[in-house]
Amino acid sequence: MRLKPVLAASALVLAFALGGCASTQSGGTVGATANAYPDEALSPAARSTAVLGDNGKPIGISAYPAPIDAVKAGDMAAFLVMTQGLDAADRNSNPFFNAFLALDRAAAGDTAGARMILNIQDDAETADAGSNLYAYLDAWFLAMDGQPDAAIERHRSAASGMPGLTGELSLAAMLEAVGRADQALAVYESLTPSKIEAPEHQFDPRGLLYSHIKTVISRHALLLQRLGRIEEAKAVYQRLADAEPEEAISYAAALDSLETGKNLKNEPLTVRAAFAQSLSDVSRTLQEQRIIRKIMMGGRPDGFDDQRSAMDQVALLINPEDDGLRSAIIDDFYDNALYDSAAHMVSVSPKPTASLELAAGQALLMAGKVDGAREAVDKALSLATDEDRLPTLYGALQLTTLLDDEARSDKLLGELLKTAESPAERASAHGLAAEIYGQFGNYEKAAKNAEEARNLDDTHDRRLALADALGKVGKVNEAIILLRTERLARPNDPYTLNSLGYFLIVNTDKYEEGYRVLARARALAQHDPYISDSFGWALFKMGDLEAARRMIESSRQELQPHRHWEIENHLGDIYWYLDRKDEAKEAWQYALDNRPPAVERKQLEDKLASGLTAPAPEKRPLPDVSLTDGEVDRQDI
């Protein structure tokens, strides 16, 4: 079973073409060499991001063919110097290039220099500001200069041209940062809809809107909590809990944190912190708009979004202590298999933290640097305080398990189960224990912990995890009852369909039913790699090897730049039966190298040593399917 886990006058909707810069060489070096960057050219925050060579010095702009390559490396020092070196026509062709340079000046505390780069005069009407972008930035520069009235007035003039909710969210952050909390609360209240509907599943198109509503409500509640208005904060946050009643245990823990402050880092917003938060909001919303436009034009989003990453990394220069933003950048690097860049972002953080060290450990492990990953786990555990001990243990356990360190994982798991206190914490601890025991092949303990997690927190995801664990200890009928019940409650959830269909073809002889269920799942989520792999495996079980190969190869392609051991394992079996033995061994070897669970690891070792001896599945007629196939009712259960 698969468990998943312009404004013609406003530059804010211009797609700034860093990708277009991929073929644009930097004109001059602005005094920079490959070995160092002059102090006057960059802020201290930007200089600190420089990637260093073996000699301990910055590798410099000569290491990067184009600015986008510096962005991919997390080297804002090189990116900004290369941007400075663009000729005037290239730089002025896109307002974001000058905006990036201005933001770095502001990061250095030189707001006058920032305004000069943007050609913003004291009289805003005469500014070279055909864009709301510059007005928006100028508002924040004024706030940094300690001119709150002028900053707010300037911001209001720019807000209407900003994308999505970013104008209002930015204004609320500014109001709070300059000491006008009541006005900030009024903004949040105006943004909160009277009726909140949560998405049914992760493919539900309402999910995008809901994520923005959660942002508004979370910030509203956190501001109330900072002001000591605890009951009001809880009442605001309760609206999210009411929208997702099945997540009651998790929301109860969050509400408790609002009341007690436990596990809650809720510092007042400074102007710099608020500015960086606002820039990140704009970056995210612009990315969402690009994705929507691409989909509406028949395309699909894919690959590294250099535009968002550049803006987020420049925003981090304003407030390098923003661990949330830094973690988001690291996650983006990780998602795009830029593992060295992810580790680099941790190394240049002004203050080491347990969570950042765990992020570095994950990146180092994926980059094949096992010793570095172990060191990162050690450092994370040593940095953990009483307040963040629990999340540190979660992360450390996941890494030690992937490092195949069963003894240490067992020891840390014991500490985790003792440390977890609330029902939500205990449910998470038992859920992780189930995954870890399953990885090491102890299926009985895995099932026991999955059941305990479900008993503590009876949610959809816990029930799917329990069904998977029950199947592995031979309790197939119990698992099917759970899965069919979930299917009845979520008739259009592709992952619920995927879980049921894949379970049927792997654990029973109900291949035709499994095929139909998976066909419906794929019809609802055509490009999901895990669902495509499951459907391909159903084709394999039905004996259609060529169709199975094409389907699972498409799954592999969809997952790029990553690869998954189970997809490779499936392809290896198919290649073997198609008499493509070398490709089969290559796929199995990759699966083996990609940290499969203990039981599957032994199977892969055997296949690499001896190949497959069982005959290929017998070819059967493929069932007819329709979009209603796979629907069940209570009698079926």
pLDDT digit string, tens, across residues 316-360: 999 999 999 999 999 999 999 999 999 999 999 999 999 999 999
The amino acid occupying position 207 is G
Predicted pLDDT at 143: 97
Predicted pLDDT at 121: 65
pLDDT in tens, 160-169: 888 989 999 9
Predicted pLDDT at 629: 54
Where is pLDDT greater, at 23 or 139? 139
The amino acid occupying position 562 is H
Q: What does the buried/exposed string (b/e) look like for 118-144 if buried means 16 or more CB atoms within 10 Å of the residue's CB?
A: bebeeebeebebebbbbbbbbbbbbbb
DSSP 67: H
Give me the mean pLDDT over the 397-422 stretch: 96
Where is pLDDT greater, at 295 or 359? 359
Tell how far CA 195 is from the center of its chain.
27
Name the band, by pLDDT with cuts 50, 70 and 90, for residue 626.
Answer: confident
d(CA 469, CA 445): 9
Indicate the average pLDDT of the chain. 89
d(CA 26, CA 61): 9
Give me the mean pLDDT over the 459-475 stretch: 97
Q: Which residues contact 134 (CB under 8 A, 6 or more apart)?
A: 11, 95, 99, 118, 120, 127, 128
Predicted pLDDT at 347: 95
Predicted pLDDT at 33: 40
Domains of the chain as residue ranges with CATH: 192-267 (no CATH), 420-488 (1.25.40.10), 490-636 (1.25.40.10)
Which parts of 107-202 are beta strand (E)? none
Predicted pLDDT at 631: 53
Give me the mean pLDDT over the 227-256 stretch: 94
Distance set, CA 446 to CA 453, 461, 472, 583 (Å): 11, 15, 9, 34
pLDDT in tens, 25-35: 443 333 344 34
Residue (of 361, 324, 342, 336) closest to 73 by Cα position = 342
Name the band, by pLDDT with cuts 50, 70 and 90, for residue 87.
Answer: confident
Q: Which helix (H) or strand (E) holds 596?
A: none
Give me the mean pLDDT over the 69-87 stretch: 95
Distance set, CA 254 to CA 26, 245, 508 (Å): 49, 14, 41
Tell how far CA 15 is from the center of its chain.
22
Instruction: Check if the beta carbon of residue 475 is closer than 8 Å to that of residue 620.
Output: no
pLDDT at 621 over 80: yes
Predicted pLDDT at 36: 62
For residue 495, what are its two tokens?
């992952």
Q: Is the dihedral of CA 429, 493, 473, 458 positive or negative?
A: positive
pLDDT at 119 over 80: yes
The amino acid occupying position 50 is A
Name the band, by pLDDT with cuts 50, 70 and 90, for residue 12.
Answer: very low
Where is pLDDT greater, at 420 or 25? 420
Name the band, by pLDDT with cuts 50, 70 and 90, for residue 387.
Answer: confident
The amino acid occupying position 48 is S
Q: Find residue 10's DSSP bridge partners.
A: 7
Residue (of 574, 504, 510) closest to 546 by Cα position = 574
pLDDT at 207 over 80: yes
pLDDT at 537 over 60: yes
Q: Is the dihedral of CA 593, 594, 595, 596 positive or negative?
A: negative
The amino acid occupying position 575 is Y
Task: Read off the pTM.
Answer: 0.88
Where is pLDDT greater, at 496 or 93? 496
d(CA 255, CA 257): 5
d(CA 467, CA 478): 7
pLDDT at 302 over 90: no
Lowest mean pLDDT among 73-82, 159-168, 438-447: 159-168
